[in-house]
């Protein structure tokens, strides 16, 4: 029972995600004191998701990801939007190109292909 619970919820999530299409509510990522908050966001597999990256710092940042081929400058106290996906299950790293130690992950639940 415990073992199938995650599978079931993943399947349910997948179904919900599929029916919701790209209309999923945007996910917000904050840059605060040179760190991503939250540093890990969970995204369903197979859906296009809109991210809102908000920079609360006095320094500009660059939201960048080699895993997702994303790259966008976020001015100090500014915000940008970025579409990602549809993604396969796995972990995708993103970082602040202006402050390389700040990193975060997009986590897509499910079995890896």
Residues that bind another protein (CB under 8 A): 22, 33-34, 48, 50, 56-60, 62, 66-73, 75-76, 78-88, 90, 92, 97-100
| Cβ closest to another protein, residue 10 vs residue 79 | 79
Q: How far is the CB of 1 from another protein (least distance, A)?
A: 33
Instruction: Output the six-digit token pair for 74.
Output: 């976020």
In the three-class reduction of DSSP (H, G, I as helix; E, B as strand; rest coil), residue 15 is classed as helix
In the three-class reduction of DSSP (H, G, I as helix; E, B as strand; rest coil), residue 30 is classed as strand
- Burial class of 109 by CB neighbour count within 10 A (0 to 12, 13 to 18, 19+): middle
User: What does the radius of gyration of the chain's CA atoms come to, in whole angstroms?
Assistant: 15
Q: How far is the CB of 104 from another protein (least distance, A)?
A: 15
C-alpha angle 76/79/82, rounded to 5°? 130
| Cβ closest to another protein, residue 8 vs residue 71 | 71
C-alpha angle 55/48/96, rounded to 5°? 30
| Cβ closest to another protein, residue 38 vs residue 78 | 78
Q: How far is the CB of 93 from another protein (least distance, A)?
A: 9
| Cβ closest to another protein, residue 19 vs residue 58 | 58
Q: How far is the CB of 4 from another protein (least distance, A)?
A: 28
């Amino acid at each position: 029972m415990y073992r199938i619970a995650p599978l079931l919820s993943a399947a349910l999530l997948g179904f919900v995600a599929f029916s919701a299409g790209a209309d999923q509510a945007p996910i917000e990522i904050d840059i605060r004191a040179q760190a991503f908050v939250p540093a890990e966001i969970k995204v369903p597999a197979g859906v296009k998701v809109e991210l809102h990256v908000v920079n609360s710092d006095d320094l500009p940042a660059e939201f960048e990801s080699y895993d997702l081929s994303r790259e966008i400058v976020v001015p100090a106290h500014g915000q940008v939007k970025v579409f990602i996906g549809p993604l396969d299950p796995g972990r995708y790293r993103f970082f602040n190109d202006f402050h390389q130690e700040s990193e975060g992950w997009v986590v897509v639940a499910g079995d890896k292909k």
